[in-house]
Amino acid sequence: MMDLGLKNKRVILSGGTRGIGRAIARAFLHEGASVAFCARNLDDVKSTEVTLGDHAFGSQVDVTDASAVNTWVGEAAAHMGGIDIVVPNVSALAGGSAPEVWRLAFETDLLGSASLVNAALPWLRNSSAGAVVLISSVSGREVDMFAEPYGVLKAALIHYGKTLSAKLAHENIRVNTVSPGNVYFTDGVWGKIERETPELFAQCLAMNPMGRMATPEEVANAVMFLASPVASFTTGTNLTVDGGLTKGVQF
């Protein structure tokens, strides 16, 4: 088994109590890292912290509140002795054309990610393995049923990641993006669609060439690789984890 070099690394993760975020936290912990995670629901934070174990530290934080994010990052860095890896994972999963829906998507998906990265930069600059992994989506690459505002903001995250990678490369801080396709977990969006509109779920499932949707763990594995020292010369890339769902050619 390849050693990813993540032992004793210090990870900060938003949205760590369910789905992809929880799988990311669990994967880092399995490799010997410490993980400070946040979510909005305090009960979920507490139960997840117990489940994940001694090296997981949960906090109740709303990522749309930049001041709260700054405070949390400072406390997490003090608790862990620094920060090596940042994974902004929270998404509003917003759909609809109303201005308030667009505002929520912008403040959560894009501004929430930028606020977390900006707050963590002083510690990333002091790390010998500074890395940021943003979570976008295939909806940011192709027009699909989640086109707006979700897809638009996810596309912006890919651009932000590329821009940030160029800006921080001389400081040896790597920035990459992961774009998952359909990811199934029971309490996620596809689990909800399966329960409420099974015909639509069946149609979407059939669009996946591999005959299934991804597990959160498969997305977490991609995040782990890009965040790890094994990917030490990889920055500014967008890694699609979609089982062949999208048809566009990446150049």
Which one is catalytic: 150, 160, 165, 179? 150
Helix axes of 42-52 and 19-30: crossing angle, nearest 10 degrees: 30
Question: What amino acid occupies position 224?
Answer: M
Alpha carbon distance 123, 164 (integer Å): 16
232 labelled catalytic: no
136 labelled catalytic: yes
Angle at 178 between CA 176 and CA 180, to 5 degrees: 175
Which one is catalytic: 34, 59, 113, 136? 136
Dig out the tokens for 42 from the structure: 């305090």
Which one is catalytic: 91, 139, 154, 160? 154
Q: 46 in helix, strand or coil?
A: helix
Alpha carbon distance 2, 87 (integer Å): 22
Which one is catalytic: 137, 165, 179, 228? 137
How far is CA 196 from its chain centroid? 26
154 labelled catalytic: yes
Alpha carbon distance 214, 223 (integer Å): 14
Q: Do residues 5 and 230 touch, judged by C-beta distance below 8 A? A: yes
Active site residues: 136-137, 150, 154
